[in-house]
Amino acid sequence: MTVSVGLDIGTSGARAVAVDEAGRALAIAASPYPLLTPRPRWAEQDPEQWWRAAQAVLAEVITRVAGDGGGRPVAAIGLTGQMHGAVFLDARGDVIRPALLWNDQRTGRQTAWITERVGRDRLIKIAGNPALTGFQAPKVIWLRDEEPASYRRLAHVLLPKDYVRYRLTGELATDASDAAGTLFLDLRARNWSAELCDALDVDVGWLPRVYESPEPAGVVRPAVAAGLGLPASVPVAAGGGDNAAAAIGTGVTRDGVASSSIGTSGVVFAHSDAPVIDAAGGVHAFCHAVPGAYCLLGVTLSAGGSLRWWRDVTGRDYAELTEEAAAVPAGSEGLLFLPYLTGERSPHADPDARGAFFGLTARHTRGHMTRALMEGVLFSLRQALEAIAALGVRPAEIRATGGGSGSPLWRRLQADIYRMPVRRLAVDEGAAYGAALLGHVAGGTLADVGQAAALARPVADADEPDPANEAVYEDLYAVYRDLYRATAPDMHRLSRLQR
């Protein structure tokens, strides 16, 4: 039986999962790397560290499956990773400067310029999204404006996972799902938009070839294969952006099912057979990893990231914090948290939004604050789900994925706040698992994405909403929705003072 290895170039580290053709995860490896914040609102990483971590995790899982029961041949590698980032290469293929990441907020002036240059309505019609600070196009314009010497060297712009592909295979390639988060893609054509590139004075030749996610997009180079213990010519699937790849691994490839991911960011993801675009720009319209299909995403920038911040501030570990939170009643006795620690994406698209605890009293404890934080994250994601439903895409079941899927409290809170059943997966290894399934299609061991997604099996028992908690959350959610509108002007004043 063959295996495919999924490789995820995440924000906190690289992760590899070896998956056999029956969908079983046989070996897992992870390797962290740092997030660089040289200035307030900046978020960068060194692509060389991605490559070193990728080699380490690939070598580990390949060694383990090769030594397991006489060895299993590796049929393919599938790639996934954090979306929207910009890796700038010169004509020799060398990295010009550290990569700008999805959560980098420095490009406010550039997003305004793009909107003025193209026109907001026209941009949304072509790309499916407004200009946002996290996307790749504003980062290219920032390089032009702020580092002209680096811009003059620019020959190629890649997304994070595609830089690792370049080191693996020597190919400059991407996939439609990841490319849809750049603002350079024509969403309906599933290829680069000459109109947008021309309007932004960006050479379309800087951008890699676009494939569908399960297509082979290069083979591992002989020298790299030898170092990893691979045979010659192992194909590398085009892969997908992290959320689209994760959707393959959670079976979110049909109407009626959505996923809720609690990682550093939080994402609600719903499948759509045709492009559905939010004219208000509150939720994202992207290409799916399913060829020819689309998806809607709502993003909370600081989901698990809010809890990690709180862990670091309090000096307590996750287990202690969530145990305290579980002992607090639903609604945290009138305490609310706005999770805008790094600005916000959905539905406000506001890089200057600020986080806050609201409603503190002398009665509130650390447990109250932890539970309010978790509830606030899910209120934010519920707003995104409601924006998706308003576009006619109405899931009836949520599949939990990401780090939050392993927490009974996170799952119960999702069921109560979303007001629908929440199921976890029998195998929940995130985006890397979906990338491995795409690799099996590229390598020919699975026929198509439908067969691959059928291997994603939810557990039988779901977390069901508690009617008593639902009632509490309905009242609290109404206050939560009003708080952003009431406080946004003061958030923006504080951001200006910080700058």
Residues with catalytic function: 242
**Which H helix or E strand runs over 299?**
strand 294-300
Under 8 Å between Cβ of 136 and 130? no
Q: What are phi and psi of 465, to 5 degrees?
A: -60, 140
CA distance 132 to 325: 34
Secondary structure class of 456 (helix, strand, coil): coil
Under 8 Å between Cβ of 345 and 132? yes
Under 8 Å between Cβ of 110 and 145? yes
Q: Are strands 294-300 and 336-338 parallel, antiparallel or unpaired?
A: unpaired
- DSSP type of residue 168: H
215: its two tokens = 């297509």
Q: Are strands 266-272 and 257-262 parallel, antiparallel or unpaired?
A: antiparallel
What's the Cα-to-Cα distance from 356 to each of 80, 482, 484, 487, 490, rounded to whole Å? 33, 14, 10, 10, 12
Question: How buried is residue 390: exposed, middle or buried, by Cβ count under 10 Å (0-12/13-18/19+)?
Answer: middle
Secondary structure class of 77 (helix, strand, coil): strand
- DSSP type of residue 480: H
CA 277 to chain centre: 19
Secondary structure class of 82 (helix, strand, coil): coil
Which region holds residue 70: left if phi is over 0, alpha if psi is between -120 and 50, else beta? left
Under 8 Å between Cβ of 351 and 277? no
In DSSP terms, 266 is beta-bridged to 262, 300
CA distance 117 to 138: 12
CA distance 121 to 421: 36
Residue ranges of the alpha helices (H) in 15-147? 47-66, 108-118, 120-127, 136-146
CA distance 301 to 132: 13
Secondary structure class of 69 (helix, strand, coil): coil
In DSSP terms, 157 is beta-bridged to 88
Q: Which of 430, 379, 325, 483 is nearest to 30 (CA)?
A: 430
CA 84-85-91 angle, to 5 degrees, is 125
